[in-house]
Amino acid sequence: MSTPFGSLCRTIAAQSTYFTTSLRTCQPHFATTHNFTRSFTTTAPRSFAPSTSYSVHIRRAPRTHDRGPASSEDTQTDFGKLNVLGDVPVPATSIDACLEDGFDLSNGARVAGAGVLLVGGEAFRWRPWVEESGGRRGLLNEKGAWEVDRRAWGVLGGLWPKPDLLIIGTGPTIVPISPATRKHINGLGIRVEVQDTRNAASQFNLLATERGVEQVAAALIPIGWTEAVKK
C-alpha cells in the first residue's frame, strides 16, 4: 500500500535521479569544451614567410679610370668653363697655408709668431693673447668660451665701411665664443661665423673671392696655439 510519505520519497528519488542523470549527460559536453580550450590555447602561432624577396646590389669601384679614346666630336664640353670663379682673381690676402705659428698668404707674405686679421684687403699681425703689460693671457674664460679683450677689435671699430661678416678661426679646434665677444662684434654691425682655423681660412678664401674682401673679414689664431693658464 502506498502511503503519502512513500510517494513523496519516490518523487524525491525520481527528481534526484533526473538531476544526476542530467549532470552526467552534460559531463561529456563540458569535457569536450575543456579539451577544445586546451587545444586552442596551446596551439603555436602560425608564422608567415615574407612573400617578397629582396636582393642587395653592391656597387663596386671601377677597376680602371680609363675612359677610352678621346672623343672626336666638335661639340665637346669644356669643364674648365663651368668654374664660374675661374677668371676671378684670388685676393692677395687669401690664406695659402696654415702654419703652426703663423700663416702664408697668397701674395708671398708670411706672418710668423702671431695670428692674422684680414680686413679690407689688408693683413695685420694679430696677437690678442698679449696683455698691455707684455704678459700672456689665455683665450678661454672661466666657462671655457673663447673671449678676447675689446681692444683686440680696434681695427674693426675704426673701419668704414665695415665688413658684413667676420670669420673667426679659434685655433686647432672649434671653440664657442663668449656672449660678450659676440655681442661686441654684432654691436659693430658685423655678423660672426666661428670655425677652427683651417676651415675658417678655407671659408674666407671662398667668400672673399665670391663677395670681395670689403664684405668678408677674418680673424685667425695659429693652428699650433696652446691655451695658457689665465692669471
State the cell numbers at 86: 675661374
For the cut 90, the answer to whether the pLDDT of residue 192 exceeds it is: yes
Amino acid 193: pLDDT: 97
Amino acid 21: pLDDT: 39
Rounded to an integer, the average pLDDT of 49-75 is 62
State the cell numbers at 14: 525520481
Higher pLDDT, 201 or 78: 201
For 130-151, write each residue's pLDDT tens digit: 988 878 889 999 999 999 999 9
Q: Is 215 exposed, middle or buried (0-12, 13-18, 19+ CB in 10 A)?
A: middle
For 209-223, write each residue's pLDDT tens digit: 989 999 999 999 999
Which strands sit side by side in the sheet containing 95-98, from one edge to the other?
Answer: 95-98, 102-105, 110-112
Calpha distance 30→33 (Å, rounded): 5
Rounded to an integer, the average pLDDT of 103-131 is 94
Contact between 87 and 212 (Cβ < 8 Å): no
For 73-108, write each residue's pLDDT tens digit: 777 666 666 665 566 678 899 999 999 999 999 999
For the cut 50, the answer to whether the pLDDT of residue 39 exceeds it is: no
Rounded to an integer, the average pLDDT of 185-210 is 96
Angstrom CA distances, 20 to 23, 167, 186, stand at 5, 99, 99
